[in-house]
Amino acid sequence: MPDISDYFPYQGYRKNQQEMLEAAARAAANNSVLLIDAPTGSGKSSVVSALLAKAAGKKIIIAVAALTIAISVITANNLSSVMLIMASRQGNAQVQSGNTVAQDNASQNTNTNTNNVTPNNNNTTPTAAPSGNTATTAAPSGNTATTAAPSGDNKQDAPAANGDWTTEKIVDYYKNAVNKAKSSAKTVTRVKDGAINYNGIVEAGKLSGAASTLMGMFMVGSEAEIEEKNEAFTNNDIPPAGTNSNLTVNGVKDAKIEENGSNYIITIVAKDAKSPKAGDDGVGSLVSVIEEQTITGSISAVPGLTLSNINIDYENVKVVATVDKATGNLINISVDAPCILSLGAKIPIIGSIDNAKVGIEVISEFAMTY
């Protein structure tokens, strides 16, 4: 007889998750009824592994609204919900482990110099030059300000002249830090990950009320309610997941860099993008985007359910990254990725829904050590 572990796609259980799956397995084996009431993030989707273990040739039917499937794919930021629908193992599923401690990402040094650069705007404000150990503010007129260069070989070159942070240099510095982390970070921790309803957008025709209720399964009410989980992830999961960053100034709406003690704090806002692909300039090189084929693939095994006119339009996407001055190492990245999912759906018994929309704002944070 197969065991739950034969189908469970992760390397470790979340708190109380194993007990929940064992209870589901007993219910399946005894043909009894089980009601599970558990919060977001507890691992309910993996109940299918218990059902598969005890199926013994029986057919497993999972009923869920089409819009909810799409929402779950986006808000989960992994393929656990896809696994639920497809009832298949994810060989490269992300690790669910809570033992890695996130690295503190900000120095308490209060001396902060800021360069705020907007594309197509050449009026930049000179500030002190980036430095590995000491930051020297610009000298009074008539004097020359100098800065100490970071020591060590494993670092990025930062502009050496006062205030020489153009948009292009900020973007390149950030991109290099991200790609370096993908190849050389020793540990990657997803500190938190969750979603809220963006701008209150919920339009699903006669199912709008049900959709709002179902969204509570995958979303929280506010950013403050997103819990820290400190899950161990892989270097490949650093945003943008699955690809290197190809960010250029052409995909950026605004860029800012600040000195904060021994770190740089980089804030980048992407230009809005309609259904971007992973690795595309702009949004696709800043965050881990969800693409149409991910959603269509997730419902391919649901009889009679078809989706059409799928669009995932991102707007006001922002990342805030902390980079160590001396080494150029990315040590923390926070992502705020609002999008509007729109689609049409043909659902057995219920009928068709045209141009359903839901606003989803995915908020996540990663920390790296070296």
**CA-CA distance, 115 to 131, in Å (whole number)?**
14
| pLDDT block averages, 10 residues each, the chain of length 370 | 77 85 87 81 77 75 58 44 32 34 38 48 40 39 38 56 82 98 97 92 72 71 92 96 97 97 98 97 95 75 75 96 97 97 75 81 96
**pLDDT value at residue 258:** 96
The whole-number pLDDT of residue 157 equals 66
The count of structural domains within the chain is: 2
In the numeric block, the tokens 């000179």 are attached to 126
Residue that terminates a domain, selected from 86, 120, 149: 86
Contacts of residue 78, Cβ cutoff 8 Å, sequence gap at least 6: 93, 94
Bridge pairing between strands 273-274 and 330-347: unpaired
Sign of the CA dihedral 168, 170, 173, 178? negative
Query: Is there a single domain that holds both residue 176 and residue 81?
Result: no
What is the rounded CA–CA span in Å between residue 216 and residue 220?
Answer: 7
The count of other CB atoms within 10 Å of the CB of residue 245 is 22
Peptide bond into 9 cis (omega under 30): no
Q: Are residues 294 and 185 in the same domain?
A: yes
pTM of the model: 0.63
Q: Is residue 314 part of a domain?
A: yes
Domain boundary among 86, 109, 132: 86
Asked whether residue 79 falls in the same domain as residue 177, the answer is: no
The two structure tokens encoding residue 309:
């006119």
Q: Is residue 50 part of a domain?
A: yes
| Containing structural domain, residue 206 | 170-369
Closest CA to 187 of 232, 231, 244, 240: 232
Calpha distance 289→245 (Å, rounded): 12
185 and 301 assigned to the same domain: yes
Domain contains 272: yes
Decide if 99 is inside a domain.
no
Is 242 a domain residue? yes
Which residues are bridge partners to 59 per DSSP?
none
Q: What is the DSSP code string of 98-151?
A: --PPPPP---------EEEE-TT---PPP-PPP-SS---PPPPTTS----PPPP
Same domain flag for 341 and 241: yes
